[in-house]
Every structure is written in structure tokens, then in C-alpha cells.
Amino acid sequence: MAGPNDQQASRRPPARGLRVLLAGRSVAGQVFLLQVVVVLLLVAAAVVELLVQAKHDSRQEVGNRSVAVAAAFASAPGVAQALASPDPSAVLQPRAEEARKRSGVDFIVVTDTEGTRYTHPVPDRIGEKFVGDIGPALHGEVVTETVTGTLGPLIQANVPVFDAQGKVVGIVSAGITIAKVSGVVNQILPILLGSAAVAMALAMGGTWLIGRRLLRQTGGLGPLEMTRMYEHHDAVLHAVREGVLILDGDGRLQLANDEARRLLRLPADAEGRPVGELGLETRARELLSSGRTVTDEVLPAGDRLLVLNNRPTDLNGGPPGSVATLRDATELRALSGRAETARTRLRLLYDASVAIGTTLDITRTAEELAEVAVPRFADYVTVDLAEPVLHGEEPLRPGPAVTMRRVAVSGVRPDPPLGPEGHPVVVPPSSPQATGLTTGRAVLEPCLADSADWRRQDPERNAKVLSFGIHSLICAPLSARGVLLGLVNFWRSQESPPFEEDDLSLAEELAARAAVCIDNARRFTREHTMAETLQRSLLPQKLPRLNAIDAAYRYLPAQAGVGGDWFDVLPLPGARVALVVGDVVGHGLHAAATMGRLRTAVHNFSALDLPPDELLSHLDELVGRMDRPDALPDTGEDGGEDEGDDASAVAGRVPGGTAVSGATCLYAVYDPVSAVCTLARAGHLLPALVGPDGAVDFLELPQGPPLGLGGMPFSAVEVVLPEDSTLVLYTDGLVEDRERDIDEGLEQLLGVLAGRRGRDPEAICGDVLDAMLPPDPADDIALLVARTRVLDGSRVAEWDVPGDPAAVSGVRAAVSRRLAEWGLAELSFTTELLLSELITNAIRYGAEPIHVRLILDRTLICEVSDAGSTAPHLRYAATTDEGGRGLFLVAQFAERWGTRYTATGKVIWAEQALAGVTPPEW
């Protein structure tokens, strides 16, 4: 059926024919464009052909001209004779240049049979090799070729020069450059293009006349095409899932497709009738009758919601009327609501995966779960965890009444009657929470007021919950990796709708994601606790009481996992003391176990009384082979403290699959008699020294390599420390963290220590940590502060002994007198016996000078030194032996004895307990 638009098209004025032809949408336009294309191709082909022919003719003419000039010059009288002359260039160059200018070629070059030029337009090129093929010319042939010579691309002719006997004695080459040939072609190019433009204009004019005549005769479309077009339009209108209504200017319905009839329930004879007679609802009737522009207007139509779009048809000169489209939004709105709900839930799950588990703290992880669910899913959230979980242990299986602890509460109001954080929660067997724990699935209580099991738990408290407005609950168990950790309760109150079955999956997903994070935190807590327990068991439980120093320490494990920092204070013979601070790279059980092994090794090496540099060398070798599969067990002489032996045993039980990645150590030995402190370090930070006058600075020590590298020696430095000096040893966790680089930390440490004159070590430890402890330590911190003392000279007695056994009696008498002065006369006999044996051994087996020293400390120390390097060995003499019992007696009467080596020899020492005598304080 033809409509108003079809009639309008039939009345389209022919004055728009050129625009229609150029658009190419009609048959006449397509024929016109095809003819234009054919004309353009023909004209372009003609131009190209002419240009190619002109270029070919020009090259042919240039070649012929070059041959003629070269042949004429080659046959000219005197050319052959000039080639045989002593200086051919002098004769031929002027003649060649004159001939070149007269003939109009670009060059005339004469060469010998070897290709050496005798002439050239550029005199500098004379004597150089000819560019081209002279082979055919040497055989008497005339050749034309295109080459790139010294003047650029060119066409040249090579002609032989014959002497009187007909022998080729030279070659003449003449030619013209391609640029000159192209210039000739360019001269005729405007003529060709002008001719082509005239031909094109005439052809397009004729084509336009033909196209216009065809357009007038067909009207733009033939009857068959118009019929097919309307058939297609009708099929589309009745096939689309959108209602279409066409109304004329009087408000009568001209066309309604099948979908419009279905949505509006139109009668069969609706077309041709006014809109007011179609039985439409008032709102729809008004909008359709108005004819105004409407976009996405929602209209009720019975039990449906329709979206209406209306557009007038006379905006661009069309017939009066309007076109309306309708679509059903009832199902779309329901689908969009469900899609929005799904999108909101997916967004909540995504935010939960980002917000939950940001730390490895169990309580904080539970709080993050509660915070992310409020208010987007629930109005209140409580998280209850089993007591063992909070300590990193495996939780108990649910029994008749499971006891948990509330660790997180979050809500839209701060005062819900759900129990505060930290308060114990008992889960009765019949409660919804118990059901969730038993089944492992979330439990829904859409209406708490109707839940007898829930109200029976705690009637008084649950009545307060209901009166507060909380009316709906979902209990979801927190379970990960087969381990039941606790419960999360989601509550809704006030205006929020009750939970539905669809909410269970979201609650379970939130609980599952949070449970994995809580279990990770639980595992970390367990490992952290184990590592920290191991670490603390391997560190000194208390420092020994010594007269040489007054010491205090602090050790703080990192929150992210304990490391391998350690410290020690070791008493040495001669009233000396060793101070040690070290750091094993890494965290966890392996670092703690490695620290224990190193501390045990330091104990054993210090028992040998090694100098600091030698001790570090032995420790370096030990670290280098500590975790190798073929490494031997750690060895060392007995003499370390019991706690060191325990540390070694514990370390041996820890798997050592990971190699030691590095360790640092600082070892210092302080002698209170001489006030000399000998220090050496292996990659460790410099110690700080607070002088008795309050001056603070770092001691300059040689930088030794970290332990385990091997091959590099260590150097020791001796420093005299005045009495009341304070030595501060520490690890890098004190001075370096994420917010502060190490240089800044060292400067801050000096600033804290400044002005601490007279402060005891305990107070200094507190001041340093108060000022420098980071809020979240990422590394262990070990701090050791020691204030030095100097032994009064009255407590030391020394004698030089000649190398004569007769001198021993005099020394014994002097020792007895000194012991009487110290109030230790009861020790005279034992001391004289010990010194007699030690001095006799030094005289018999050692070398002079021999020196005796008595030190009154917490024990009585007897030292005999000599210049020999041979140490005595304890042995058990047979009954028939006359000697060999001296050191046996020393070992029996002395509490401890031993040998240490010095730079000038050795010292044999023995200590006696002051039985029944209170040791005097310094």
C-alpha cells in the first residue's frame, strides 16, 4: 500500500537531478558515476601512454645523437695520433670541450684501451677510470648504455678509435644526462595535461546529459524496484519486536504493525480510525494525539509498562502526521532490577577481596569483614572466633556448647545490644549458630521474633535485640581448609528488608573469603609465636653480674616475623668481658635457628679466649659451611653456658633446608684492668660510645665482610675507654625502617644518646626505644648498652719472676702477704700451690720473661705469663711416675683454669672461688 511518502517521492522536482546523479543511489546515478570513471581511466591511460612514448622517443633521440657525436669525434683527423702522443690530454681536452659545446651534448670523454680518461668536462676527473662498459668498444662495436657516472644518471655512446692499421687505440664516449632528457619531457607535459582536461570536460558533459535524461525518464526508481522496496518495508514493520504507529495530521491511525496491535490490544479495524476511538488509556491517547516529540515516556497499559517515543513527520518537508514506537519495559525492568542486585553483590565481593586480609592480624581481619558488610549487606555484623584460633592454634570441634569470643562488632549505630568485643559467647546446641557450625552452611532466620530456638538462647538479651529493631539474621560459619574457625552473624534492623534465600549464597561467599584470610592470620600467628618462642629461648634470659661492666639490653621481635638478631655478654678470664651483637638475614624459624647456632659457636670460640679478629674468622668459616649438605656438625670446646648448649640442640632439630643468606656480627672484649676494649666487626654497624664527659660518637672500626663470604681477613682495633664510658651496640632494625633511611637513623641515635651522661644502662635503653622505635617494626631490634668500670690498682698485684726455680719461694711469700692484705689469708696455701706449679712449668717449659699477676674480682684470679707458645696439657700420671701431677693438682684446687695466647706468648690462668668471703664491690 502506497503511503504519503511515496506520493511525495513521485512529485520530486527534476531540478535536483545533478545532486541525485552525484549521490549514486539511483540507477541513473550509478550509470553516471560508472561513465565518469571510464572517462577518467581512458584519459589517464592516454596521458600515461603519451608520456611514456615521449620519454622513449627522447631517449632514442639522445642515443642517436650521442652515437653521432662520438663517432664524428672518433673519426676526426688527429685523434688517433693524439692518443699515441706523450700527452694525449693536452691535445684532446681542448678539442673535446669545443666539440661538446658545439654539439650540445653534456660530455665527450676520450679514454685509452685501459679505460683511463684523457678528457672530461670536469678537468679534475681526467686520469680516473671511465664509468661504463668499454668491452664491446674494444672489439670495434658501437654501444649505447645508461649508467650513473660522475655527472649523475646519463645516456652515453661508446665508439672505438682506430689507427691506420685498423687497431683500436682508444674509445670516445659522448652522452647526455637523464635530467636534460626529463626536462624535454617536462616541456611537453603541460600540453598533454591541458589536452586531457579538455577531453575530460567534454566527456563528463556528455555523460551528465545522458544521466539527466535517464533520471527524468525513470524518476529515480523503476516500478519493479519500488514494489520490492515496499514489500521489504512491510516485512520489516511486521517482524520487529517494537510497536510502530503511523498517524496522519488529523490524528487518524494510518498503519499499526503486529507488535503495536498486541501491546495496545487494538481492534482489527483500527487503521483509518481516530486515536480517540481505539479504546486507549487517557495518558496514551493524549500523547499520541498531541503529535509532539516524546522520548522514552513510560505509559501504563493494563498490566504492562510501555515506553513511548513519538516524532512528527513534517519536520523536513514531509506530510503532516507523526510516527510512534512502543516497547514493553515490564520484563526489562524486572531483569534490570535483578542485574542491578547481582552487580551490587559482585561489587561487594570484589571490595571484600580487597579490604579483607590487608594484615596478618586475626582481630583486624575480623574487623575488616564486619566493616565491609555494613551497611551494604547488613545493618550489624558480629564475628565470633574460637579461643584457640586467637592464639594461632587449631580450634576445637563443636560440642554440646561451644565457647567463642566476640572479636569484632560493626553497625550503623554504635550501641547495638549484641555484646561488646572481647566478651565470651556460648553457642547452645539448639541455636541457629550451632546448626551452622554443625552443617557448615549458612543458616537463615528471616524473622527473629518467630524463631523459638533463637529466643530460647538468652531470653533477656534477645528481647533487647528485638526491641532495638533487629529482626532478621544470617549465621555463616567461618571455615577454611577443613578447619572451623568461628561464626559471622549478619543482622538487619529497622527499615531494612528481611534476609531472603538469595542472600545465603552472598553471606557464605563473604564468610568463605574472610575465613581464608583469618586462617592465614592464624597460621602466621602460630608460626610467629613459635619463632618468637624459639628466638627468646635462644637469647640470654638474663645477663651475668660482672664488676667490669654494668649492662642492660632490649630485644623486640618484628611484627611481621622474628628474625635472627642476637646479643650476648660473656665473662672471660682475667675479669674481662666479651660483648656480642649479631644479625642473621631473614625472618622465621630458620633465621632463629641459625642465630642459635651462631650464638652457640660464639660461646664455644670465646671459651678458647680467641682475639676478636680470630674469633670472627672462625665464625666466618663456620657460616660458610653451616648449611652445606657435606658440612660437619659444629664443634667447639666445652665451656659455653648451658643456655647456649640448649640453643644448639634446638637449632639442630629445626630443618635447615635453606642456606644462610648472610649474617653480621660485632665482637668486643673489654679488659677492666687496662681499660682497653678490643673490637672487630663483620659487616655490622659501628658501635656508639658515650664518653664520661657526655660526648657521643661512633667508634671507627675496619669494615669487615659479612660472615659467610670467606677469604677476607678481619681487623681488630684497641680503644682505651675511660671509666664510666658507655658502649652502645645495636642491630639495623633500630636505625632503619620504611619511613627512615639508615643515615637518618644513625644521626637520630647520636642525638638521643647526647646528654645521657650519668644515666644507667637501663634508663638509656628506655630512652633510645622511646625515641626511635618505629610504630610497626619490620625487623628485629637488639640493643645492648654497657657502662664500663676500671679495676682499682689496689686489687691487682704483679711480679716479674727470674727464670730460676729458686725464685719461686720469694714469689710465694709475696703472694701470701698480699692475700693477707686483702683479707684472704685462708686462700694462701691453695694459691701458693697453684702458683708454684704454674711458675715451675713456665720456668721449665716456657721462655722469659715470666710474669705473675693476681686479680681480686668476684673470684681470685692467678695468672702466669711467659714468652713461650707451648701450652701445657693435663694428663694423669702413673703411680711409678715421678712427675706429671702439677696440672692435675691445679685442676683439682682451682674452680677453673685455662690458657690464652697473646701477641708475646701465652697466659696460664686459674680462678678460685672466694668461699665464705663476700666479694667486694668495685
Q: Which residue has the cell 707458645?
A: 869
Q: Could you tell me the pLDDT band of residue 640, with boundaries at 50, 70 and 90?
A: very low
Least confident piece of the model among 317-331, 459-473, 691-705: 317-331
CA 739 from chain centre, in angstroms, equals: 18
| CB atoms near residue 896 (< 10 Å) | 14
| CB atoms near residue 795 (< 10 Å) | 17
Share of the chain above pLDDT 90, in %: 17
List the strands of the sheet with 380-386, edge to edge: 424-427, 402-411, 380-386, 483-493, 470-480, 443-445
- DSSP-derived letter for residue 707 is B
User: Around 308, how many Cα atoms within 13 Å sit in the side-chain half-sphere?
Assistant: 27
Whether the predicted pLDDT of 3 surpasses 60: no
Distances (CA, A) of 405 to 124, 419, 487, 921: 105, 10, 10, 54
> Which SS3 state, helix, strand or coil, does residue 297 take?
strand
Q: Distance (Å, rounded) from C-alpha 860 to C-alpha 911?
A: 6
Q: Could you tell me the pLDDT band of residue 271, with boundaries at 50, 70 and 90?
A: confident
pLDDT at 187: 62
| CB atoms near residue 173 (< 10 Å) | 30
Which triple of cell numbers denotes residue 177?
644526462
Mean pLDDT score, 483-495: 90
Q: Distance (Å, rounded) from C-alpha 76 to C-alpha 61?
A: 22
- Please write down the long-range contacts of 24-32, taking CB distance under 8 Å and 24 or more positions apart: 26/215, 26/218, 26/220, 26/221, 27/214, 27/218, 27/221, 27/222, 27/225, 28/211, 28/212, 28/214, 28/215, 28/218, 28/220, 29/211, 29/215, 31/210, 31/211, 31/214, 32/207, 32/208, 32/210, 32/211
List the strands of the sheet with 896-902, edge to edge: 796-801, 850-856, 859-866, 905-913, 896-902
Q: Could you tell me the pLDDT band of residue 633, with boundaries at 50, 70 and 90?
A: very low
Mean pLDDT score, 133-158: 81
Beta bridge partner(s), residue 676: 671, 720
- DSSP-derived letter for residue 334 is H
pLDDT at 327: 81
On whether the pTM is more than 0.75, the answer is no
Q: Distance (Å, rounded) from C-alpha 6 to C-alpha 15?
A: 19
Share of the chain above pLDDT 70, in %: 81
- Please write down the long-range contacts of 272-276, taking CB distance under 8 Å and 24 or more positions apart: 274/250, 275/247, 275/251, 276/251
Least confident piece of the model among 264-268, 621-625, 912-916: 912-916
> Which SS3 state, helix, strand or coil, does residue 17 take?
helix
Host H or E run for residue 788: strand 781-788
Of the candidates 875, 868, 877, 721, the one whose C-alpha atom is nearest the C-alpha of residue 803 is: 868
> Which SS3 state, helix, strand or coil, does residue 228 take?
helix
Kindly report the average pLDDT of the chain as a whole number: 79
Of the candidates 160, 189, 173, 174, the one whose C-alpha atom is nearest the C-alpha of residue 55 is: 189
Whether the predicted pLDDT of 8 surpasses 70: no
Q: Could you tell me the pLDDT band of residue 509, with boundaries at 50, 70 and 90?
A: very high
Mean pLDDT score, 249-268: 82
**Tell me: the pLDDT tens digits for 641-678?**
333 333 333 333 334 444 556 789 999 999 999 999 99
- DSSP-derived letter for residue 737 is B
Q: Distance (Å, rounded) from C-alpha 402 to C-alpha 384?
A: 11
Residues 6+ apart with CB under 8 A from 154: 106, 107, 146, 147, 148, 175, 176, 177, 178
pLDDT at 918: 54
Q: Could you tell me the pLDDT band of residue 86, with boundaries at 50, 70 and 90?
A: confident
Q: Distance (Å, rounded) from C-alpha 446 to C-alpha 830?
A: 91
Q: Which residue has the cell 591541458?
A: 194
Of the candidates 778, 768, 772, 773, the one whose C-alpha atom is nearest the C-alpha of residue 728 is: 768
Of the candidates 745, 814, 812, 738, the one whose C-alpha atom is nearest the C-alpha of residue 779 is: 738
pLDDT at 396: 59
pLDDT at 188: 64
Whole-angstrom distance between the N-terminal and C-terminal Cα of the chain?
126
- Degrees to nearest 5, angle at CA 591 with 589 and 594: 105
pLDDT at 642: 39
Residues 6+ apart with CB under 8 A from 377: 348, 490, 503, 506, 507, 510
Q: Could you tell me the pLDDT band of residue 921, with boundaries at 50, 70 and 90?
A: low
Whether the predicted pLDDT of 226 surpasses 70: no
Of the candidates 352, 462, 486, the one whose C-alpha atom is nearest the C-alpha of residue 407 is: 486
Q: Could you tell me the pLDDT band of residue 915, with boundaries at 50, 70 and 90?
A: low
Distances (CA, A) of 868 to 853, 887, 890, 901, 907: 17, 17, 20, 10, 9
Instruction: Compare 405 and 29 and report the one with higher pLDDT.
Output: 405
CA 412 from chain centre, in angstroms, equals: 38
pLDDT at 220: 56
Whether the predicted pLDDT of 626 surpasses 80: no
Q: Distance (Å, rounded) from C-alpha 742 to C-alpha 705?
A: 18
Which triple of cell numbers denotes residue 38?
571510464
Instruction: Compare 800 and 152 and report the one with higher pLDDT.
Output: 800
Host H or E run for residue 58: helix 27-74
Q: Could you tell me the pLDDT band of residue 331, with boundaries at 50, 70 and 90?
A: low
Strand 850-856 versus strand 796-801 pairing type:
antiparallel
pLDDT at 655: 40
**Tell me: the pLDDT tens digits for 149-204?**
777 788 888 889 888 888 888 898 888 877 665 555 566 667 767 776 777 777 66
User: Around 502, how many Cα atoms within 13 Å sit in the side-chain half-sphere?
Assistant: 7
Q: Could you tell me the pLDDT band of residue 31, with boundaries at 50, 70 and 90?
A: low
pLDDT at 815: 87
Which triple of cell numbers denotes residue 20?
541525485
The DSSP result for 355-379, as a single string, is: HTTSSS-HHHHHHHHHHHHTTTT-S
CA 149 from chain centre, in angstroms, equals: 62
pLDDT at 152: 72
**Tell me: the pLDDT tens digits for 551-586?**
999 988 776 666 778 889 999 988 899 999 999 887
CB-based burial label for 858 (10 Å; 0-12, 13-18, 19+): buried
CA 835 from chain centre, in angstroms, equals: 68
Q: With contact defined as beta carbons under 8 Å apart, do 577 and 821 qualify?
A: no
Mean pLDDT score, 111-128: 85
**Tell me: the pLDDT tens digits for 582-592?**
998 877 777 77
Whether the predicted pLDDT of 833 surpasses 80: yes
User: Around 436, how many Cα atoms within 13 Å sit in the side-chain half-sphere?
Assistant: 28
Q: Which residue has the cell 510512534?
A: 324
pLDDT at 14: 44
pLDDT at 407: 92
Q: With contact defined as beta carbons under 8 Å apart, do 687 and 731 qualify?
A: no
